């Protein structure tokens, strides 16, 4: 695989869109795997109770597995729950279990409920340094399809928001709510947060509608929209049932090629200019 240059600092990117089924998890796991295969040190934090990112990366996440739930509720440190992805060198995963479904409510009464993930991550970074481990290059947080406390924790821990958009009717509906929430987080909880990246997913260049949506997104977000769009590709949707990313499942498929290109583009842009 092509080697990429390391970013000048750790890039923490949260993949978010309150709509389900737009390609958040698919984008998280495939970009993470593409970057790891290009020599980067990558951590995926699965913060969706469905645990789809954990599944796709072949990480055990049955109910009793130590997970991000234990980290958020303060019983454990990230170093105690993180697992190496068995099939991709350089890729580690903080899994999510179904227990996390209750966390949204359990967090409400806790102190610093919005900062649980960011503080745990800071402690983990310090622990890695003490251990003499190399700095992480990319951290991806895979959000649930809602704007609740789990997503807020991701927004507070991250510097970058990556929004996958499925090029279909209603694609932009809900986007203004998402952007409003990002602004609210910027104002009150994390002044570093910015929407750096928008990626079109399940793109079918043969339909007028997809092309129109792409033009509209480009008009609104010329800086953020990646040149690379991810095509609708059956190999992408088959890979998770083999606990694989499309990059190992079918490296020559159009889907694998597109995710590798998107990863190169994201790396090429570098870490964002701080706000």
Q: Among 42, 118, 130, which Cα is nearest to 78's?
A: 118
Least CB distance from residue 61 to ligand ADP, whole Å? 15
One character per residue 40-79, x = contact with ligand ADP (rule: CB under 6 A): ------------x---------------------------
Encoded one letter per residue, x for contact with Mg ion by CB under 5 A and - for no contact, window 19-38 reads: -----xx-------------
Q: Which of 193, 168, 195 is nearest to 23 (CA)?
A: 168
Among residue numbers 1 through 30, which ones bind ligand ADP (CB under 6 A)?
20-26
Is residue 16 within 8 Å of 143, Cβ to Cβ? yes
Both tokens of 45, joined, read 């934090």
Site string for ligand ADP, 242-261 (x = CB under 6 A): -------------x------
* CB nearer to ligand ADP: pick between 92 and 166: 166
Q: Confirm or reject binding of residue 236 to ligand ADP (CB under 6 A).
A: yes
Report residue 244 as tokens: 């694989």
Q: How far is the CB of 174 from ligand ADP (least distance, A)?
A: 12
Q: Which residue in 193, 112, 209 sits closest to 157, CA to CA?
A: 193
Answer for which of 31, 71, 88, 202 binds ligand ADP (CB under 6 A) is: 202
Please answer whether residues 116 and 72 qualify as being in contact, where contact means their C-beta atoms are separated by less than 8 angstroms. Answer: yes
- For residues 40 to 79, the per-residue mask of contacts with Mg ion, x marking binding by CB under 5 A and - elsewhere, is ------------x---------------------------
Residues in Cβ contact with 10 at an 8 Å cutoff, skipping those fewer than 6 apart: 125, 135, 136, 137, 138, 139
Cβ–Cβ contacts within 10 Å for residue 133, how many? 12
Contact partner at residue 190 from Mg ion, ligand ADP, none, CB < 5 to 8 Å by partner kind:
none
> What's the count of helices (H) and strands (E) in the chain, helices before strands?
12, 7
Nearest to 183 by CA among 161, 213, 206, 215: 161
Of the pair 145, 272, the CB lying nearest ligand ADP is at 145
**Is residue 96 within 8 Å of residue 51, measured between CB atoms?**
yes
Tell me the site size for ligand ADP, rule CB under 6 A: 18
Q: Are the CB atoms for 191 and 163 separated by under 8 Å?
A: no
Q: Which is nearer to ligand ADP, 66 or 195 (CB)?
A: 195
**Type and span of the H or E element at 196:** strand 194-201
38 or 55, CB closer to Mg ion? 55
**Residue 233, contacted partner among ligand ADP, Mg ion, none, CB below 5-8 A by kind:** ligand ADP
Beta-ladder partners of 42: 91, 138
| Residues near ligand ADP, by CB under 6 A | 20-26, 52, 145, 201-202, 230, 232-233, 236-237, 240, 255
């Amino acid at each position: 695989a092509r080697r990429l240059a390391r970013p000048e600092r750790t890039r923490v990117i949260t993949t978010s869109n309150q709509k389900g089924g737009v390609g958040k998890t698919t984008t998280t796991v495939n970009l993470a795997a593409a970057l790891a295969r290009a020599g980067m040190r990558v951590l995926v934090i699965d913060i969706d109770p469905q645990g789809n990112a954990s599944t796709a990366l072949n990480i055990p996440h049955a109910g009793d597995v130590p997970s991000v739930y234990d980290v958020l509720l303060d019983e454990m440190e990230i170093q105690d729950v993180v697992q190496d992805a068995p099939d991709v060198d350089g890729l580690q995963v903080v899994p999510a279990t179904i227990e996390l479904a209750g966390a949204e409510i359990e967090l409400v009464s806790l102190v610093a409920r919005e900062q649980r993930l960011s503080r745990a991550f800071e402690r983990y970074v310090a622990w890695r340094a003490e251990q003499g481990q190399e700095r992480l290059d990319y951290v991806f947080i895979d959000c649930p399809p809602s704007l609740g406390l789990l997503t807020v924790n991701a927004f507070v821990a991250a510097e970058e928001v990556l929004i996958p958009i499925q090029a279909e009717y209603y694609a932009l509906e809900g986007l203004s709510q998402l952007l409003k929430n990002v602004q609210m987080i910027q104002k009150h909880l994390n002044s570093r947060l910015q929407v750096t990246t928008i990626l079109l997913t399940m793109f079918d260049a043969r339909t007028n509608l997809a092309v129109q949506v792409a033009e509209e997104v480009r008009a609104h977000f010329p800086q953020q929209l990646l040149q690379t769009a991810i095509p609708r590709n059956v190999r992408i949707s088959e890979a998770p049932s083999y606990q694989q990313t499309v990059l190992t499942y079918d490296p020559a498929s159009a889907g694998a090629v597109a995710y590798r290109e998107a990863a190169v583009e994201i790396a090429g842009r570098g870490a964002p200019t701080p706000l």
